[in-house]
Amino acid sequence: MTAPAAPITRPVAVPSDSLPPLRRRKPPSLHSTLSRVLIALIVIVQVYPLAWLFITSLRTEHDFATGDPFALPKSLTWENYARAFETGNLWLNILNSFIVTMGANVLIVLLGMMAAYALQVLGFRFSKFVRSLFLVGIIVPVQIALVPLFIDYSTINLLDTYPSMIIPLAGFALPMSIYLFSSFFEYIPRETYEAASLDGAGPYRIFGLITLPLSVNTVVTVVLVNSIFIWNDFIFANTFVLSEELKTIPLGLQNYIGAMGKTDWTATFAAVCITITPLLLVFLVLNKAMIQGLESGGSKG
């Protein structure tokens, strides 16, 4: 036995008058056009120096010295990168910058989170006043602390050490970090903490099991924002570092200045490309988490 064939349905013609009118795409407004043009200009201003830096690092020394420095190179070479490692102690400089950056970020995250947790979540009398005192540190210039810190470090034999750079870098970055963490903690529902307290969790357990896991994106935001300034720091390293073994990248780039002020520019540009590559890779990998951290509270405060 075979199943009965399905009836054949023919398409029914629909009159054109009953069809909904097609929506025409509106032309972009003046505000939208100006916004796009402005964004394109900002991207060009930000990307062009990096592109020019990389292209120049591949130019021959003679081509850069005799030709137009902003023109396209006539020939490319990787010799500048080899000469960059031969001229300066680049690996040691990168290692020192990595140690200082990681050490300062650990202090910034731990102290900033705990201070913001005490101010925003636990709360106490005059907590808002104490928070405002922390925020005053944002407007304090770092230059006024150089001489007092140098005197104190020389008294306690802390000059020419990693802590001499890590401590002031972390201290001056704490106000903004506390502000970001406090703004994020403000948007965590109070019912979450109350439920944990009813279950018998103390403040330390709540901090470790609730606040810390929820703050991952904000931690990434704080680390990336501060790492850019710490990695490129020159003023503290130049003031407190006296030996070649502890020089960071900004200080190590001075080795490319030869006698009578002659500078090997192509090797210097190659060294700069090498030293900024770790930051670019980290930023590209964690860019999404940074944006989410800003959207989840860092920018709302």
Q: What are phi and psi of 263, to 5 degrees?
A: -115, 130
The pLDDT, as a whole number, for residue 97 is 93
The pLDDT tens digits for 87-143 are 778 889 999 999 999 999 999 999 999 998 888 888 788 888 888 888 888 888 888
Residue 22 has pLDDT above 60, yes or no: no
Closest CA to 116 of 238, 257, 211, 194: 211
Reported as a pLDDT band with limits 50, 70 and 90, residue 73 is confident
Q: Higher-confidence residue: 217 or 301?
A: 217
Residue 68, pLDDT above cutoff 80 = no
| Amino acid letter, 100 | V
Q: List Cα–Cα distances, 149 to 4, 23, 101, 155, 234, in angstroms.
A: 95, 68, 19, 10, 15
Structure tokens at 294: 């800003």
DSSP string covering 158-223:
-TTSHHHHHHHHHHHHHHHHHHHHHHHHTTS-HHHHHHHHHTT--HHHHIIIIIHHHTHHHHHHHH
* pTM of the full structure: 0.78
Of all residues in the chain, the percent with pLDDT exceeding 70 is 84
Domain boundaries, the chain: 79-298
Q: For residues 104 and 139, what is the distance between their CA atoms, to the nearest angstrom?
A: 20
Compare 3 and 236 and report the one with higher pLDDT: 236
- Which of 132-136, 160-164, 199-203 reaches the highest mean pLDDT? 160-164
pLDDT of residue 36: 86
Residue 299 has pLDDT above 60, yes or no: no
Backbone angles phi, psi at 233, to 5 degrees: -65, 135
pLDDT band at 236 (very low <50, low <70, confident <90, very high): very high
**pLDDT at residue 202, rounded to an integer:** 83
What homologous superfamily does CATH list for 79-298? MetI-like (1.10.3720.10)
Residue where the block lists tokens 């200082």: 100
Provide the terminal-to-terminal Cα distance of the chain, rounded to the nearest Å: 74
The model's pLDDT over 23-67, given as tens digits with 9 standing for 90+, comes to 666 666 777 788 888 888 988 888 888 888 888 888 888 888 777
Residue in the structure block whose two tokens are 């407007």? 139
Burial of 33 (0-12, 13-18, 19+ CB in 10 A): exposed
Q: How far apart are CA 276 and CA 297, in angstroms?
A: 29
- Which residues 6+ apart lie within 8 Å of 122 measured at CB? 203
Q: Which of 17-26, 145-154, 195-204 has the lowest mean pLDDT?
A: 17-26
| Whether the predicted pLDDT of 83 surpasses 50 | yes
Give helix 79-87 / helix 90-116 axis angle, nearest 10°: 80
Nearest to 160 by CA among 229, 238, 249, 88: 238
Mean pLDDT, residues 250-267:
75
- pLDDT at position 79 is 87
pLDDT band at 209 (very low <50, low <70, confident <90, very high): confident
* Whole-number pLDDT of residue 168: 93
Looking up tokens 């502000």 gives 179
- Report the distance separating Cα 47 and Cα 209, nearest Å: 41
DSSP string for residues in 82-99: HHHHHHS-HHHHHHHHHH
The model's pLDDT over 169-187, given as tens digits with 9 standing for 90+, comes to 999 999 989 988 888 888 8
Helix (H, G, I), strand (E, B) or coil at 251: helix
Decide if 114 contacts 204 (C-beta within 8 A).
no
